[in-house]
Chains A and B, each alone.
Chain A
Amino acid sequence: MKVWRLLRKSVSPRNFYSKLLYIINFFHLNEVKMLREVAIVGVGCTGFKSITPDMSYKELMFEAATKAYEDAGVDPRRDIDGFVCCSEDYWEGYSIFDEYVPDQIGAALKHLCTVTADGLYGLITSFMQIRAGAFDIAAVEAHSKASDILTFAGIVAFALDPVFNRPLGGHPHYIAGLEMKRYLYETQATKEQCAHVVVKNKKNALDNPLAAYGANITVEDVLESEPLFYPLSRLDASPLADGCVVMVLASDSVARKLTDTPIWIKGVGWNSDTPWLETRNWGRAIHTELAAEMAYKMAGIRNPGKDIDLFEIDDQFSYKELQHLEALKVCKRGEAGKLTEEGVTQRDGDLPVNPSGGLLGVGYALETSGLQKVLEVVLQLRGEARKRQVSDIKTGLAQIWRGVPTASGAVIVLGGR
């Protein structure tokens, strides 16, 4: 019936063969639509803290999982088919950390897998599993117990190439310093503009009950803070945090039954640029450019600055927020710094960026960062962000980078519909 109504409305095709072609095209386009839609139907978070000495990672996970399942109104033992966990062995201090995850999230003797990447990759993996028809309801988990790590720099250094980079020694975050210098040089952005990012995000975090490092500071505070890897200063870098986030996803009809506010996954993208420090592009976050391209195509986004109302992007280091904004094609190259200075990326600005406080304000919770960002987008789209609520939003974006020394990133576009 729809076909005929559309045909009669259509202006161009007149003769029979054009109309036939039109019908065939219509069905082809709708085949794409008939692919399963996936929505986030429940979220749970323990909150982010600088240390959590009273709880083991298992207890953290149990807390977040209980909250998420409560939010979604599901019983994991009965309703959830698939689980995806995200962890890296060396963050946890256990090899094959996958062994230790099922019990506390209700996944014992269930279909669970581990993706060694950020929680956003886990979310995307679960999205693909549901789309492929493997499950109807799934859960995704990521956590950080950074406070259990005694030698953080040593472990990040352990990710460097053993032949070419490790023997040089030093705290590996010099790589972020190198990248910041190159980015500032290429874009003519300034350290002041980067400092504005820190000030904005830490201020935003004061309104986020889940955040660990909210603070009211000034640009001078940031510029005068102790230099770490010049031009990076202490306040330019996100401090570590512990925390756990669990999310429940479901396929279309199931999602609608479970909640009145499903948050739909409109587009996903992820990409990895070269692992070699020696040959990579230091000024641009190409991984995010390509990931965003893929996500935008899927979501039908043509003008990210206009089509997307809210951005939660990776600001592990202050300059990263600017670099990623440009990679996401939200603004022209070199423009992000100016936009930040002018307040455009404030919560009440035209392009709200990191209303949750970003990693600078919430804390850098290792592989949980992506889910923390998705959590904010979900809460905002549901209208549950309270003091941080940005008004009039329909579409949100979350993006992460996998940290030094990687060149990998992922992007997700979510809509309330």
Chain B
Amino acid sequence: MSAKIREYPGEEIKTRDLMEGRVPVVRWRPEAKYAWAAGVAMSRFLKELKMGRIIARRCRKCGRIVVPPRMFCEWCFRPTDEWVYVKDTGIINTYSVSYLAADATRLKEPIIVAVIELDGASKGIGILHVLGEVKPDDVKFGMRVKAVWEPPGKRTGAITDIKYFKPVQEA
């Protein structure tokens, strides 16, 4: 480093010092609440989820059928043309096995998350979801899976109306 520099600034403290009040701390919980308008595309998507179906949009120019649905095609930059239902089955594009919850605490039972390319959508078009009824070691790339839905009465119009995807035997 430049010869002029003797030491690098910064005074280290430990998290415990902060938690136990050995360092002056000011706490604040932000009041930040939002209610996002889902818009035309996602509102329909959520409505269809409530009815146990997954809906996508097709762009006639490039021919892609995309999910999550969107009113514009990002590659052609034009409005998408029509609604298309896709199946609730698909293959695993990639997956990982999580021992961490959203707040970084450890989980006893791991969550298996995967990107699932849905049947009926264009190749490579997938959604994120969790896998169930399968052990981590048994999951394979390209494995065929099917959605397990919440019963109709318990669906709220959310991605969690699908409980998880489970492996199915190839026909």
Contact = CB atoms under 8 A, between A and B. Distances in A.
Interface of A: 52-59, 62, 69, 75-77, 90, 93, 102-104, 106, 108, 145, 147-151, 153-155, 157-158, 162-163, 166-167
A58 B77 contact: no
Contacts of B34: 93, 148-150
B72 interface: yes
Contacts of A153: 31
Contact of A54 (B35, B37, B77): B37
Contacts of B71: 58-59, 62
Interface string B37-52: 1111110000000000
A150 B37 CA distance: 12
A49 to B, nearest CB: 12
B151 to A, nearest CB: 29
Nearest to A56: B39
A104 B72 contact: yes
A69 to B, nearest CB: 8
Interface string B64-98: 00000011101111010000000000000000000
Given A53-B37, A154-B32, A166-B28, 13 more contacts: A52-B37, A54-B37, A59-B40, A62-B79, A77-B75, A77-B76, A77-B77, A103-B70, A104-B74, A106-B74, A106-B77, A148-B37, A153-B31
Contacts of B70: 58, 103-104
Contacts of A150: 33-35
B164 to A, nearest CB: 26
The size bracket of the interface on B is: 20 to 34
Given A106-B74, A108-B74, A55 B35 contact: no
Nearest to A167: B26
Contacts of B38: 56
5 contacts: A56-B42, A62-B72, A148-B35, A149-B34, A154-B32
A106 to B, nearest CB: 4
A108 B71 CA distance: 15
Interface string B125-167: 0000000000000000000000000000000000000000000
